[in-house]
Chains A and B, each alone.
Chain A
C-alpha cells in the first residue's frame, strides 16, 4: 500500500496566490521528499526534509514536517502559471528502502 496521501487531489488558484498541499503518511520515516511532474513528463525533485527537521525553504517553496502527526505540507508562495503541475510527496523509511510515493496533487495556476 502507498505510504503517502496528498490532500487535496486537485487545487486551482489564481496567479499570485499561495498554494498549499498536504501529505500524510503512516509509519516512521527517515526523510520526506516533494517532487513535481509537468504533464506526462518525468518527476523532478524539489526539496527534501529529514525526520529531525521541522521546516525547510527553497526559493518560493516552504516545506514543513510534523512527525507527531505524520504529516507534511508544501507551500508555494506567489504562484505562477508555470507552477501548474502535479506534486507528489514521497517517503523514505530507511536508507536501504526505496521511496514510496503518494497519489499526488494536481495544481492549476490560472493567469
Chain B
C-alpha cells in the first residue's frame, strides 16, 4: 500500500539555523499539507498546497516558513531561522484529487531546536 514518507525522522538544530523537512506524498495525490504537533498539544494546520501554490496557511505559517514542490515528487517545508518554539513534530499529509477526502499522513519529523 502506498504511503507518505518523511525525512529525516529526527532533526536537531541550533536556534537561528535553517532547516528543510522533506516529504514524498503518495504519487497520484494532488493536495498537500503540513501540520505540526508541539509536544503534549494538539495537531495544528500549517499550510495547504495545490497546483504549485499555497491554498491556505495558518497564522503560524509566517514569513519564516515556506513550502515547495521542487521536482514533482518531493514536498518540502523550510524554516529559515528556527526558534525554540518551532520544536515540534511536523507531519506531512496528502490526498487525491476528488472522491477521496481522507488525508494520508506521514510518520512525521521530530524537530528539536536548541
**A and B bind:** no
Q: Which residues of B contact A (CB under 8 A)?
A: none
